[in-house]
Chain A
């Protein structure tokens, strides 16, 4: 082996960490030896090789210990089995600090002195780590559950965790709001409560037992929110359980809703928000969750026996899940449902007042939902100029692309306005992911016409030009387009807008003009958000159509407030504006509710699904309780001013 010694100098192909010749020399010096260059080079190379070899065999110990991290222990074992003394004193779990001294180009492992006396005499003896234990937990619960007794979890919680759990639940469900806040905050950020998750989920599943107590329900929902927002928790299949608890709050005819004084509507709104939040952040954990939620919402909606508050919950739930959900579930059910609702709303008997008030709530919720549906759908459509005939519900680039392409026509969109509408933006992003196969989208014009047939002028969304509609739906029957003529004509003619109060501006303003006792102006901040957004929207709409209506832009804003007013701040007041205005508007114009539905004679009548059969059923539910006191509260009795 003479001659062929290559110097460690050729470092071009350095595939491994190498101990350089200088290091070897240095080490030799520290041991009091002088080494020649050649010897050092040879030694260095051999050391490198042996190191690599030892590292390789230590990897085997790592693999068998089923770890991914090589430890000093592994290395020591490899050394031991090759009859080399182990390296002592490096067993720490933490990484070693490797430091360098610039001047000497020295690298070394920091080795601090430890005062053993201090250590020995220390009074705070650290507690040993917790005892090793086994805990069973279901990863997958399939539909077929073995009839056998599932092996129970062996170990319960440690004392500390148990204490924590008790404190937290006591704080959240207790009286002190400040304490509750702290507890929720901790629940939201604590990284060590994974073991408690099933317990919390269990507590939350107790919603059913406190359905009489709105306050407690609210607290439980907040608990859900905190758990969901905790970044350290992996909810896994508990998502399902949480969702079902939240759904309970949304859909069930809670005992608390018997008393009309209880604002269970807000609770439902909040729960709906929460539902959408859970779904968009954790929906991927449970396959088929979206579908499942939709199905249960649909079931409630299509069940006429259920009270109106349940229906309300279903509608806000759908709304919170996004316009696609609305399109998929609510819209197809609307014709059938409408008949029932209509019956409730048309019943003017005193005994029906309570039910009717609820009906108005539902009406308002539906209106908000479909308005957004229309808007989003319109936005998701490709540029109308191209005359794209198929409406693409999942077109994500819709809003953005549109804005970019027509920067001059619309005011620069304010991103915050969009963000403030948390749900909507989420929906846009995620909605496309969950397509429902059996469902076929209805083209926008057809949808609009159908909705218009229900809501009439209460619909804040307008589609103005005939051209655009022709572009959208070439398949629309000709007579259908005839029916369009009328509103469209008005649109193109600013003078007629008053006659057919379809323009949002007029709708918004007119109640004020006639000085009706409207007591709840929307909070200014909300209006601001809303207006910016609606500005963008309405201008977009218009830019698509004849651009001659710029004058209305400024006033066509605040009508859009409703959807946002409801969903950005569910607590800011009873979410009933939309109907108040619409109802009043109509009421002023003609007697009763007829105008909601009429105007267009050839409107395809809603498919009648035994409306009469239901109508006599509907009030029955609502009639359970209707304290007359209700009448005095103008806040709720929306029909009074009519």
Chain B
């Protein structure tokens, strides 16, 4: 198992394959479990991406309709079974005989992996996998029907290794040599159609194109005529149906019909789909469909709708009466209708949750239990001279209820029932310096200011002046002593904001001269000559999009457009490690609150969990349908939240790599995430200028904060969680009453199984203040340990 993962994460993306077995050996043995679903997903992604090239080749070379000639080869995805035989027949009533994903599918995935390994000449790995999975020897027989389905796609995946980037937009027009090079490989894979064609060919069954208009307007008329309570729910159908019908038309070369169809009905769609519609409208050729990522998302994932049983029955009856098979087929094949019992939802309820690329989250996706409680803090023996401090702490605690890190008297504090086991994931042991820092932290916390709606924090704004090269990321250490900026010129700059200057450790030769027994050896190793306020770290070869200090302030992480994440030492101010794996721009990275682990996410749509002492990832979180734009660790380090351009937020379990929550509701790419200090809530900000609040335990949206007029790039809760600060491209910092937002929740809403919460529009009441900067977008926010709010951004004249 351990091994398989190594092959997995590197297969679609890494260039060199020789070190894979080596990597597997180095891999940590801490996480014995790997999730099949994700393995499968990654494979699907790989297959899809690689397959596009093949599909194109297929067309170029044979110019043969791709719908022909594939039989049951698409075993990779069960849902396609129902659609593929119907090619050309149009009216086949496929019914709802969807095979549930189960063991056979898993086995197919394994076979696919096996096939891939074999192709890549990793015989040893293949053998291990075969043994561990308990597959028969002949499972690798290329003629095996199961394996052949995904084979070509994987072959294409390795074709990528040859240098053809699957997602390239223009290469298919210009690059012909590589296509030719791939032809033999494809021939070897047999006459099966590659995966992408399979996905696409779902569109090949067509009715009369001229009737699409009638179908759609018929449904529209019907939905408009039903009772109000059902209309809102059924209206959700419009957008996915519209898109799929349009794509079908385009796919079947009915360009003019498609255009007319688009013209006629695009105006009916909800405004928050505008961006996708714009992409869609530019797409009028079958050839273009193959390279379009948005489209791929739409095809590879079912659009999820949540509809009450009553409304669904209504729809079903209507479609059956009208014999409207075209639409029924689309619903069956491309949509996933999550039927619930109970009252139909209102328009506002639906609008609050919709907007993501693939519809709402299925309810069962948010059913898993999440241990959102905080870990118990280790007991720290305070030095004797700090006794009074401790007394002060003890006494202050019951009142203050500081949620984080101050559980000195842990004897009195019970384990949070919602907290994960202390040892659920292995955490690094505290070093002496960490303990000292914790003591400092507790001392500071006693002086912390209680914030509230009538007690707003002071805001100190750090302006980056003369940042003509472009400031792209900012981070501040927890103790607010250092501030770092990532710049578009590939540099990382670290400033000290205290009088204490930044110093390097002396060179090795000089270190030899030091008396290692002296008490102040830590001071002696520093080279006074290098003291300065600013240190510049050179190493990246592209803009630095993400930056994160380690909790102990010894390290700094930076992620860049060049596809790497770099770990820098703040002792020597040199690069220690370059973590390669994403191979595409890495948009964000963050250290775990306990150090050691970090998470990263980027253009390749996967988030990765790393440990600083492993140069390959420990976990790969795959599932997002578009770029991962931001990543955050849960305060208890057991979970990771990722925000994406597909307008969803996902919460991943670090232990097993499962996706445990999917939050939909944003109408634009998500660029900011923040966990509340007690771990219960998550706040997210997006390009739509809204902040949404989520209850992690129940998996529900619990609030919407409207006010910003541009992308929100930073969110931060105050240390005690009373205030939420948001910073935006609109040059403002806004403060929100988080206490009130969470207190006002009606608990009834949580008990409802359907989880349809009615959001009240109280943004104005919750907004405590708006503070303008001087044409400086707010890129980062940070509460000091005493609850002074620091904001940072580059002056942008």
Decide yes or no: A83 and B729 within 8 Å by CB, A132-B467, A133-B464, A142-B457 being known contacts. Answer: no
B170 touches A83 (CB 8 A): yes
Interface pair A50/B464, CB less than 8 Å apart: no
Q: Does A360 contact B (CB under 8 A)?
A: no
Contact with A along B98-114 (1 / 0, CB 8 A): 00000000000000000
Name the residue of chain A whose CB is nearest to the CB of B463. A135
* Chain A residue contacts of B787, Cβ below 8 A: 146
With contacts A46-B173, A133-B464, A144-B455 taken as known, whether A67 is within 8 angstroms of B470 at the C-beta atoms is yes
Q: Are B729 and A137 closer than 8 Å at their CB atoms?
A: no
Is A264 an interface residue when CB atoms closer than 8 A count as contact?
no
Nearest CB in chain B: distance from A579 CB, A:
46
Is B253 a contact partner of A4 (Cβ separation < 8 A)?
Answer: yes
Per a CB cutoff under 8 Å, which of A132, A133, A194 touches B469? A132
Binding stretch for chain B, among A58-66, A491-499, A509-517, A518-526:
A58-66
Flag whether B777 is at the interface (Cβ < 8 A): yes
Asked if B629 is at the interface (CB within 8 A of a chain A CB), the reply is: yes
Give residues 448-476 of B contacting A (CB, 8 Å): 449, 455-472
Q: Which residues of A contact B733 (CB under 8 A)?
A: 139
Contact with B along A132-149 (1 / 0, CB 8 A): 111111111111111110
Q: Is the interface of B mostly helix, strand, loop or mixed?
A: loop
A16 to B282, CA, bound (A): 8
Q: What's the Cα separation between A48 and B167 when bound, in Å?
A: 18
* Complex contact B171–A66 (CB within 8 A): no
Q: Which residue on chain A has the smallest CB distance to residue B256?
A: A6
- Interface segment among A151-159, A420-428, A535-543: the answer is A151-159
Tell me whether A3 and B253 are in contact (CB under 8 A).
Answer: yes
| A1–B468 touching, CB < 8 Å | no
Query: Which of B219-227, B408-416, B768-776 contacts the other chain?
Result: B768-776
Contact B281 A84 (CB under 8 A): no
Q: Is A599 an interface residue (CB 8 A)?
A: no
Contact of A81 (CB < 8 Å), options: B458, B584, B769: B584
* Complex interface: chain B residues within 8 A of A3 (CB): 253
Known: A63-B711, A132-B493, A154-B495. A139 touches B773 (CB 8 A): yes
Of B165, B463, B792, most A-chain CB atoms within 10 Å: B463
Residue pair A65, B462 in contact (C-beta under 8 Å): no
- Expressed in whole angstroms, the Cα–Cα distance for A633 and B469 within the complex equals 68
Nearest chain B CB to A629's CB is how many angstroms away? 52
Q: Is B608 an interface residue (CB 8 A)?
A: no
- Does B773 contact A146, Cβ atoms closer than 8 Å? no
Q: When the two chains form their complex, are residues B488 and A65 in contact, meaning their CB atoms are under 8 A apart?
A: yes
* In the complex, chain A residues whose CB is within 8 Å of the CB of B471: 66
In the complex, the answer to whether B169 meets A50 with C-beta atoms within 8 Å is yes
Main secondary structure of the interface of A (DSSP, over half): loop
A82 at interface by CB-CB < 8 Å: yes
Question: Which residues of chain A come closer than 8 Å to B481, judged between CB atoms?
Answer: 151
Mark out the residues of chain B between 517 and 574 whose CB falls within 8 Å of any chain A CB in the assembled complex. 533-534, 542-543, 545, 561
Q: Which residues of B contact A48 (CB under 8 A)?
A: 282
Interface flag for B432 (CB, 8 Å)? no
Q: Do the beta carbons of B464 and A49 come within 8 Å of each other?
A: no
B483-A134 in contact (CB<8A): yes
CB distance from A337 to the nearest CB of B (A): 35
User: Does A236 interact with chain B (Cβ within 8 Å)?
Assistant: yes
Do B461 and A82 touch (CB < 8 A)? no
Q: Verify A151–B497 contact, CB threshold 8 A.
A: yes
Q: Is B292 positioned at the interface, with any CB of A under 8 Å from its CB?
A: yes
Instruction: Assess the B483–A82 pair: CB atoms within 8 A.
Output: no
| B784 x A146 contact (CB < 8 A) | yes
| A103 CB-CB contact with B under 8 Å | no
**A56 near B: Cβ within 8 Å?**
yes
Instruction: Say if the beta carbon of A118 comes within 8 Å of chain B.
Output: no
A114 close to B (CB within 8 Å):
no
Q: A53-B291, A137-B463, A151-B497 are in contact. Are A64 and B458 (CB under 8 A)?
A: no
Tell me the nearest residue of chain B to A192, going by C-beta. B797
Of residues 66 through 111 on chain A, the ones whose CB sits less than 8 Å from some CB of chain B are 66-68, 73, 77, 79, 81-84
Shortest distance from the beta carbon of B389 to any chain A beta carbon, whole Å:
16
Contact of B169 among A4, A54, A65, A146 (CB under 8 A): A54
Q: Is the CB of B788 within 8 A of A150?
A: yes
Q: Is A15 an interface residue (CB 8 A)?
A: yes
B480 contacts A151, C-beta separation under 8 Å = yes
Given contacts A50-B170, A65-B472, A140-B771, contact A151 B460 (CB under 8 A): yes
Check B480–A144 contact: CB distance below 8 A.
no
Is A616 at the interface (CB under 8 A from chain B)?
A: no
Q: Contacts A135-B463, A136-B461, A151-B480 hold; do A146 and B788 have CB atoms under 8 A apart?
A: yes
Q: Which residue of B lies closest to A141 (CB)?
A: B458
**In the complex, A480 has a CB within 8 A of chain B:** no
* B663 at the A interface (CB under 8 A): no
- The 8 A CB mask of A30-69 against B (1 = contact, 0 = none) is 0000000000000001101110111011001101111110
Q: Is A195 an interface residue, CB under 8 A from the partner?
A: yes
Q: Could you tell me the distance between the alpha carbons of A155 and B457 in the complex, rounded to whole angstroms?
A: 24
Contact B603 A136 (CB under 8 A): no
Q: Which residues of A contact B493 (CB under 8 A)?
A: 132
A49-B283, A140-B458 known; A66 and B256 CB under 8 Å?
Answer: no
Instruction: Decide if B255 touches A52 in the complex (CB within 8 Å).
Output: no
Flag B608-628 by CB within 8 Å of A: 1 or 0 each.
000000000000000000010
User: Is A129's beta carbon under 8 Å from chain B?
Assistant: yes
Q: Is there an interface contact between A82 and B170, defined as CB atoms closer than 8 Å? A: yes
Smallest distance from the beta carbon of A11 to chain B beta carbons, Å? Answer: 12
**Complex: A35 Cα to B772 Cα, angstroms:** 57
Asked if B465 and A142 sit within 8 Å, CB to CB, the answer is no
Question: Do A82 and B497 touch (CB < 8 A)?
Answer: no
Assess whether A175 is interfacial by the CB under 8 Å rule: no
When C-beta atoms are compared, the residue in chain A nearest to B168 turns out to be A83
Whether B460 pairs with A134 at a CB distance below 8 angstroms is no
Question: Of B253, B458, B483, which one neighbours A1 at CB under 8 angstroms?
Answer: B253
In the bound complex, CA of A52 to CA of B283 (Å): 10
How many angstroms between the C-alpha atoms of A61 and B488 in the bound complex? 11
Q: List 27 A-B contacts (CB under 8 A).
A: A5-B255, A6-B255, A16-B282, A45-B285, A46-B288, A49-B283, A49-B285, A49-B288, A52-B282, A54-B169, A63-B687, A64-B585, A64-B629, A66-B729, A83-B165, A84-B169, A130-B465, A133-B466, A137-B461, A138-B459, A139-B772, A140-B458, A146-B449, A147-B786, A150-B788, A152-B498, A152-B499
A residues with a Cβ closer than 8 A to B are: 1, 3-6, 13, 15-16, 45-46, 48-50, 52-54, 56-57, 60-61, 63-68, 73, 77, 79, 81-84, 129-148, 150-152, 154-155, 194-195, 234, 236
